[in-house]
Amino acid sequence: MGTYLLRRLLATIPVMGVVALFVFALLHLTPGDPAAVIAGDYASPADVERIRHQLGLDKPLHTQLGIWLWHVVRGDLGTSIFSGLPVTKLIAQRMEPTLALTVATMTIAVVVAVPLGILAAWKAGTWIDRLVMVFAVLGFSIPVFWLGFLFIYGFSIRLELLPVQGYVSFKKGLLPFLKHLVLPSLTLGMVYMALIARMTRGQHAGVLREDYVRTAYAKGLKAGAVLLRHALKNAALPIVTIIGIGVALLIGGVVVTESVFAIPGLGRLTVDAVLHRDYPVIQGIILVFSGVYVLINLGVDIVYTLLDPRIRY
């Protein structure tokens, strides 16, 4: 296992290297000029040219790539062309809201969806099953921005229970922190609830038809013990995969939800950087995202071994 982990961790280096090269190439092939954005609408063409020179954007591409890679291997992702702040600082500022939203969303989704999926599988073919599946289809089909605005209208404007927008760090109090997270994580959670509930139901329904489940019932075990202790463990692998992908997607940025609730997460940082062609920020974020994806995949693989003793690396 140790060797496997080491091998997987080492494999992240070439993966991130290839990602870095691709991102750099794609960015510089895309039209758009950060110097023109910085200079503003009323700057003269000569001023734009001077700024481009000052930022080193007039250097040959291979020189710019070399400079960037040299900094990256020394752990420096560069500084934002616009704000002049280090990219690592910008990412760190956005990491807490992103992680908080991810954890809250996934917690809500798993806590609600897994029992619902199990219930639907247990009561397969009944009205309960159909109700759960209707909820799942709706949750997956309703656009996030629409649901977000609906929640804002209901809970913030009409009932005045929760804030409309923004993020408050947990360092400033647990209650405001949670209050600001409820609506965005509920909005986002609906999508993942739907996905996980469907997946759980499908896997569980298959497992419940297995001989060992029938044997468990024949031994006189209660439904709860069969469903949770015996069936769930065997149905869990695809569910864990879905949760892993969900976590990676959430960390990678949920731009619409972040925009609707004005949460300063990584998704908005990415989109802002793309719209302004802030090359160092885009390159830095994508590099971090690729690392996160690799690590989450690794985490999912490790969880497999805990759930299924037959899996060994």
Partner 1 sequence: MRRIAWVAALLVVWAAGAWGVTLRVIPHADLKNLDPIWTTAYITRNHGYMIYDTLFALDANLQPQPQMVESWEVSDDGLTYTFRLRPGLKWHDGTPVRAADCVASIKRWGKRDGMGQKLMDFTAALEVVDERTFVLRLKEPYGLVLHSLGKISSNVPFMMPERLAQTDAFTQITEPIGSGPFIFKKDEWVPGHKVVYVRNPAYVPRPEPPSFAAGGKRVYVDRVEWLYIPDPATAQAALTAGEVDYYERPPVDLLPLMEKHPDIEVAIIDPLGTQGWLRPNHLHPPFNHKKARQALLWMVKQEDYMRAIIGDPKYWRVCGAYFMCGTPLETDVGAEPLLQQDLEKARQLMQEAGYDGRPIIIMDPTDIPILHGATLVTARLLRKIGVNVQVQAMDWSTLTSRRAEKKPPEEGGWHIFHTWATGADVASPVANIGISGGCEERAWFGWPCDERIEKLRDQWARTTDPQKQKELVIELQRVLYDVVPYVNYGQWFLPTAYRKTLRGVIVSPVPFFWNIRKVE
Pattern 30-49, partner 1, x by CB under 8 A? -xxxx-xxxxxxxxxxxxx-
Q: Which is nearer to partner 1, 114 or 281 (CB)?
A: 281
Pattern 166-185, partner 1, x by CB under 8 A? xx------------------
CB of 183 to partner 1, least distance (A): 11
* Binding test (CB under 8 A) with partner 1, winner from 2, 160, 211, 312: 160
* Binding test (CB under 8 A) with partner 1, winner from 50, 59, 71, 179: 50
What is d(CA 61, CA 25) in angstroms, rounded to the nearest whole number?
Answer: 9
Residue 159 interacting with partner 1 (CB under 8 A): no
Torsion angle of the four alpha carbons 268, 274, 275, 278, in this order, in degrees rounded to the nearest 10: 110
Interacting residues with partner 1 between 261 and 300 (CB under 8 A)? 261-262, 264, 268-269, 272, 275-277
Interacting residues with partner 1 between 55 and 114 (CB under 8 A)? 80, 82-85, 90, 93
CB of 49 to partner 1, least distance (A): 8
Q: Which is nearer to partner 1, 274 or 295 (CB)?
A: 274
List residues near partner 1 by CB under 8 A: 31-34, 36-48, 50-51, 53-54, 80, 82-85, 90, 93, 149, 152-153, 156-157, 160, 163-167, 259-262, 264, 268-269, 272, 275-277
